[in-house]
């Protein structure tokens, strides 16, 4: 690959931005990578490990002269960061984000952008339960999907350039309407995370099962709930508050399904249970066939490389 952007500014230096930095370097996509984070400690660590070519103290300083600006901060912080950087954005620059909610992010960012700056919202469907500047790795986006949700009328060249950038990072790229994106993610990510948090909370409440038993016997299934529920609490708080309507809709549907299963168990309706589990097993097989996981008995994860765990993104 050749250089696509001369200067990329990463605002926020956690798992996603860090992995973007590694992936950009691997493919030679950026002339210079400039990074910043709100926390002085995060900036210090990022500088120590050479995560970016330059680490600066403020977002305003980071975006100076950048032709791509990536907002990799919690959804709830997007508006304040955009207000800070707006006067410093270069004419013709593209600004994108990595938030797992799109309609609220568009409403928070778009009104503050100056004329001549191209806004292409994005969401990489990749991640692990790890966070911080040390957690990134170049392979995070390989064969994962990145969804772009530009509003109609967005500069086609800017969208094509960002698509090429993400493909250079190893990702599959698709475009989608922002509202449909939020519904899709409520099904595939947001509601499963909420259920995982709930299941872990239930285990904490069931004092008849001791803490040591929960820990020792977690391979029975609880382990996989706890992995998802280990994700960043600030990010997930913002996700649920920002994607409220779609998440509540899918939770309502989940509740209906749960009641039907409760009734089948109560009445001994084995045929219903078998048919239901057969259908859901087929969906799992489809995920494997699409290359988004493996059929390994340990769910595609290896203890030697914990960062490359099964996706637990936003």
Average pLDDT over residues 151-179: 96
Q: What is the pLDDT of residues 155-166, one digit of tens each?
A: 999 999 999 999
Q: Which ranges of the chain would DSSP assign to H, the alpha helix?
A: 15-27, 40-48, 59-63, 78-85, 103-109, 156-168, 178-185, 191-205, 211-216, 222-229, 233-242, 244-267, 270-289
For 5-176, CATH number?
3.40.50.720
Q: Render 59-92 in DSSP notation, one character per residue.
A: HHHHHTT-SEEEE-S-GGGHHHHHHHHGGGPPTT
Q: Residue 199: what pLDDT?
A: 81
Q: Does residue 206 carry a pLDDT above 60?
A: yes
CB atoms within 10 A of CB 178: 19
Q: What are phi and psi of 305, to 5 degrees?
A: -130, 70
Q: Residue 85: what pLDDT?
A: 98
Q: Residue 310: what pLDDT?
A: 37
Q: Does residue 4 carry a pLDDT above 50?
A: yes
283 contacts: CB under 8 Å, gap ≥ 6? none
Which letter does DSSP use for residue 114 in this model? P
Q: Which ranges of 206-243 would DSSP assign to H, the alpha helix?
A: 211-216, 222-229, 233-242
Q: Does residue 101 carry a pLDDT above 50?
A: yes
Q: Residue 138: what pLDDT?
A: 95
Q: What is the pLDDT of residues 246-303, one digit of tens each?
A: 899 989 988 999 999 999 999 999 999 999 888 888 877 787 777 777 666 554 455 4
Q: 75-93 burial, b if ≥16 CB within 10 A, otherwise e?
A: bbbbbebbeebbebbbeeb
Q: Residue 221: what pLDDT?
A: 73
Average pLDDT score, the chain: 88
What proportion of the chain, given as a percentage, has pLDDT over 70?
A: 89
Average pLDDT over residues 75-103: 96
Q: Does residue 211 carry a pLDDT above 50?
A: yes
Average pLDDT over residues 81-95: 97
Q: Which fold has domain 180-308?
A: 6-phosphogluconate dehydrogenase C-terminal fold (1.10.3660)
d(CA 4, CA 90): 16
d(CA 66, CA 33): 9
Q: Which tokens belong to 34?
A: 């400039």
Q: Residue 305: what pLDDT?
A: 42
Q: Residue 312: what pLDDT?
A: 42
Which letter does DSSP use for residue 140 in this model? G
Average pLDDT over residues 133-149: 95
Average pLDDT over residues 184-211: 80
Asked whether 90 and 67 are in contact (CB, 8 A), the reply is: yes
Band (222; pLDDT cuts 50, 70, 90): confident
Q: What are phi and psi of 175, to 5 degrees?
A: -105, 150
Q: Residue 207: what pLDDT?
A: 63
Band (202; pLDDT cuts 50, 70, 90): confident
∠ CA 97-127-64, nearest 5°, is 30
Q: What are the residue boundaries of the structural domains of the chain, listed by start?
A: 5-176, 180-308
Cα Dmax for the chain:
67
Q: Residue 17: what pLDDT?
A: 97
d(CA 31, CA 24): 9
- 64-68, 128-132, 147-151, 221-225: which has the minimum mean pLDDT? 221-225
Q: Residue 307: what pLDDT?
A: 41
- 165-179, 183-197, 275-289: which has the minimum mean pLDDT? 275-289
């Amino acid at each position: 690959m050749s250089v696509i952007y001369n200067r990329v500014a990463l605002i926020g230096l956690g798992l996603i931005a860090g992995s973007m930095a590694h992936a950009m370097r691997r493919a030679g996509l950026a002339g210079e990578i400039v990074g910043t984070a709100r926390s002085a400690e995060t900036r210090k660590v990022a500088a120590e490990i050479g995560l970016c070519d330059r680490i600066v103290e403020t977002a305003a300083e980071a975006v100076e002269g950048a032709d791509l600006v990536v907002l990799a901060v919690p959804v709830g912080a997007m508006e304040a960061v955009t207000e800070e950087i707006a006067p410093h954005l270069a004419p013709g620059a593209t600004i994108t984000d990595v938030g797992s909610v799109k309609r609220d992010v568009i409403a928070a960012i778009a009104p503050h952008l100056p004329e001549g700056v191209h806004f292409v919202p994005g969401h990489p469907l990749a991640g692990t339960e790890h966070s911080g500047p040390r957690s990134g790795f170049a392979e995070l986006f390989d064969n994962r999907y990145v969804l772009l949700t530009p509003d109609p009328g967005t500069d086609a060249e800017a969208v094509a350039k960002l698509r090429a950038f993400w493909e250079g990072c190893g990702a599959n790229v698709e475009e989608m309407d922002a509202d449909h994106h939020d519904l899709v993610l409520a099904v595939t990510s947001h509601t499963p995370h909420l259920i995982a948090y709930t299941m872990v909370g239930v285990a904490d409440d069931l004092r008849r099962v001791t803490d040591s038993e929960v820990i020792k016997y977690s391979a029975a299934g609880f382990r996989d709930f706890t992995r998802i529920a280990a994700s960043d609490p600030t990010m997930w708080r913002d996700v649920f508050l920002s994607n409220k309507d779609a998440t509540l809709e899918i939770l309502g549907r989940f509740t209906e399904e749960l009641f039907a299963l409760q009734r089948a168990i109560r009445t001994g309706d084995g045929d219903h249970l078998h048919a239901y589990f057969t259908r859901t097993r087929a969906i799992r097989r489809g995920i494997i066939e699409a290359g988004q996981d493996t059929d390994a008995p340990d769910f595609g994860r290896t203890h030697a490389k914990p960062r490359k765990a099964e996706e637990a993104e936003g």
